[in-house]
Amino acid sequence: MDRKNELLVRVYIVFFVFVLLAIVILSKVVTISLFEGEKWREKGGRNVKWVELNGERGNIYDERGNLLATSLPYFDIYVDVMTVSDELWNSDIGALCASLSAMFGNASSEWHAKLVKAREDKNRYLAIAKDLGKEDMKKLQSFPIFKEGRYRGGFLYEIKTSREKPYKQLASRTIGLDRSNATKIGLEKSFNGVLSGDVQKRLMQRYPGDQWLPIYDPSDVDQKRGSDVVTTLDMNYQDIVHHELLHAVSKYTAEAGTAILMEVETGAIKAISNLGKYKDAYVEKYNYAIGRLSEPGSTFKLISALAVLESGKVNLDTKLDIAGGRKKFYDRTMYDSERHGLQVVDLREAFEISSNVGLANAAFEVYGKSRESWLKFYEDLKSIGVMDETGIEIPGEPKPFFKNPAHEKVTASERWSGTTVPWMAHGYELQMTPLQILTIYNAVANNGRMMKPYIVKEIVGADARPKTIKPKILKSSIASATTIAQAKELLEGVAKRGTARNFDIKNTSFAGKTGTTRINYWLKTGDKQYNASFAGYFPADNPKYSLMVVIYNPKGAYYGSQVAGPVFSEIVERVSGMEQRVEVLPVEPKIEVVKAHSGYKGDYKALLEFIGMDYKNHSTSKWVDMDSREASVVMNPKKISTKKVPDVRGMGLRDAVYVLESLGMNVETQGMGMVYKQSILPGTTIRNQGIKIYLK
């Protein structure tokens, strides 16, 4: 019995001790959580914290696969000299210092003194280099001691990225900017959700000097990279548009200029250039094509003509009294820009000579004599589609400004008056952007069908499966077929007999309208300021492209035919020249030319069909291997795995870089021509590594 009591007493004592410890622990937890939590969290946060890590951002390409924007990695390199064992330090410090001297300069003895002092000072965060490229960083990783990695060699690095545009100023504002400390713009902003990679949290440790480095190797983080964006831009055409516009704004010391080349059938923007004066140069500092509202002047006469022709009260042969180019509407006098002395002309000739009075008369007769007719003018313009945004993917497009005669309680600048119809008829008292104007010209060229302007055609995700963005119809027809045919006749007349008759375009036909806008017409004294413009399409009989050029406030000349017209002419002639096939002598082609090639199927089909070579297409893939061992060239499917390094040997530079970068690999190139060697064997598992390709 005594033995049993003794055991019970011991059990009770042990139980009491555990209960007491539990109470102490619980009270401590409560105290820390409720009363001291903030203090300890603050202390912990001084040396360790979680930060968000953005995944690799996707690339932006033109439609030919040319790289327009990409993220290049840069590295800051540090060393924790206290991590290195004495044995490794003593055996390899000399070799390390010699390697550092060869790479960065300074004597080997200087590096030795620096590293030894750091070890004596127990420096766990010694800076070695800043802003190194990936190849230099890899070279450092191979140095003695450093090659042992973070935990044995003390090698530390922090990754930074820089968004680069290989084509620099070409379409720069449209491609946009990705900035961590400022608002994104352009495609970088509107497709940010697509381009951005996965965001993950990374544990960072604080080092002396208030520097933070990841506790684990950044390369250990398996993050999904952002998708790639493929635009409708063609950098061959973009180069033409940019440099022709640059020549004009420089020649006339203009405030700014813009030019947009659009595909008629689809609304795809093939080139867009926006140049504004900055100090002594012209740069892409604002997207005038998309974001700048202004009074269009005479390029709006096409829209006025559409309205009056659609009313049925006017046709091309309707006689108009233009009174020598001067007429008074109520208390305001309107003038034609040229003192031509003509009295009575038909609508066709009034449009060709760009008579302000002629178009104003036509609109005034149909719409100008009562409030009801004002409302009809407003509604007819609205039905054409001029009062809505185009919906372009680039942010910042404003809504066109049109006065509404139904609104009476408005500001003076918004108030409708008896002179509004004639002044609107030749492009004043309203505001539109260049892209909005061009969309109407494009619709006329497209037989009345208004297409939504768009600039992104494909999004390629990490799985390499593209999401295609198809053309979109905004209006099936902006006017009747008869009116569209008459509008085309007017625009062709401008090119043949009117204000654009002297445009010297050798290899194609065109149609369009000049525009000269007085932008400070309300001033009675001082220098007059103008915008010069031209909008049109080509070829005239089977339009493929539409084009608008605006030069803002040029000096020395200001007529649309003088300033904007030559830009239009040069772009049309050069683009048409690229479009036309070059005749070749009927020689027997050498099949060896394509024997070992591989690449994008569409390019090879176009090439083989152009030179008349027979071929067999055995591939449903967009990537092919070419085989000429049979009687005709054979296209065999080329498989591209999303997890394995592909075989890009035989590809051209553009195709090889596109394929590799779409798989998340950083590509370095050497040489020109066709890829004959690659630094990583085909079939190797992809782990976001870099690859070097050799061309000859």
Q: Does 358 have pLDDT greater than 70?
A: yes
How high does pLDDT run on average in the chain? 85
Return the CATH superfamily for domain 288-530: DD-peptidase/beta-lactamase superfamily (3.40.710.10)
Q: Amino acid identity of 288?
A: Y
How far from chain centre, in Å, is Cα 38? 47
Top-confidence residue, 594 or 15: 15
Span 326-334, average pLDDT: 92
Domain covering 52-227 in this structure, CATH number: 3.90.1310.10
- For residue 606, give Cα distances in angstroms to 39, 539, 610, 615, 638: 71, 22, 6, 11, 18
- Residue keyed to tokens 């499917």: 637
Q: Does 574 have pLDDT greater than 70?
A: yes
**Beta strands at 228-231 and 60-61: parallel, antiparallel or unpaired:** parallel
Confidence of residue 585 (pLDDT cuts 50, 70, 90): very low
- Residue pair 417/488 in contact (Cβ under 8 Å)? The answer is no
- pLDDT on residue 136: 85
Top-confidence residue, 605 or 491: 491
Hey, which bits of 280-436 come out as E strands? 281-283, 319-321, 326-329, 332-335, 344-346, 401-402, 430-431
Q: Single out the residue of 519, 456, 448 nearest to residue 484, CA to CA.
A: 448
End-to-end CA distance of the chain: 100
Q: How far apart are CA 542 and CA 488, in angstroms?
A: 11
Q: Does 143 have pLDDT greater than 90?
A: yes
- Residue pair 498/491 in contact (Cβ under 8 Å)? The answer is no
Report if pTM > 0.85. Answer: no
Q: How far apart are CA 49 and CA 211, in angstroms?
A: 12
Fold of the CATH domain 591-695: Trypsin Inhibitor V; Chain A (3.30.10)
Tell me 386's DSSP state: -
Element (H, E) at 201: strand 199-207
- Residue pair 202/34 in contact (Cβ under 8 Å)? The answer is no
- Helix 356-367 × helix 371-384 angle, to 10°: 110
Residues 78-128 have pLDDT tens digits of: 888 888 999 999 999 999 999 999 988 888 899 999 999 989 988 888 888
Top-confidence residue, 596 or 286: 286
Cα angle for residues 340, 344, 348 (degrees, 5° grid): 85
Q: Which of 147-151, 337-341, 400-404, 637-641 has the lowest mean pLDDT?
A: 637-641
Q: How far apart are CA 614 and CA 594, in angstroms?
A: 12
Residues 6+ apart with CB under 8 A from 155: 77, 79, 140, 141, 145, 146, 147, 148, 149
The ranges assigned to domains in the chain are 2-46, 52-227, 288-530, 591-695
User: Which tokens go with 144?
Assistant: 């003695």
Alpha-helical regions (H) of 31-133: 37-45, 86-104, 108-120
- For residue 199, give Cα distances in angstroms to 152, 186, 193, 211, 223: 29, 22, 11, 22, 8
Residues 655-679 have pLDDT tens digits of: 788 788 878 788 888 776 778 788 7
Top-confidence residue, 339 or 625: 339
Q: Collapsing DSSP states into helix, strand and coil, what is residue 66?
A: coil
- Across the beta sheet with 530-538, the strand order is 281-283, 269-278, 256-263, 545-552, 530-538, 511-518
- pLDDT on residue 470: 95
93 pairs with which residues across the strands?
none
How far from chain centre, in Å, is Cα 670? 27
Query: What are residue 459's phi and psi, to 5 degrees?
Result: -120, 120
